[in-house]
Amino acid sequence: MPSHPDKNLETFPNPTQERDYHIHMEIPEFTCLCPKTGQPDFATLILDYIPDKKCVELKSLKLYIWSFRDENAFHEAVTNRIVDDLATTLEPRYLRLTAKFYVRGGIFTTVVADHRQSGWAPLPSVDLFRFDSQPSTRG
| Residue ranges of the binding site | 56-58, 75-76
Q: Which one of 6, 20, 32, 41 is the catalytic residue?
A: 41
Q: Which one of 34, 48, 52, 55 is the catalytic residue?
A: 34
Secondary structure percentages of the chain, helix, strand, coil, to 5: 20, 35, 45
Residues 6+ apart with CB under 8 A from 17: 51, 52, 53
Rounded to whole angstroms, how far apart are CA atoms 91 and 76? 21
**Catalytic annotation on 32?**
no
**Catalytic annotation on 48?**
no
* Annotated binding-site members for substrate: 56-58, 75-76
Active site residues: 34, 41
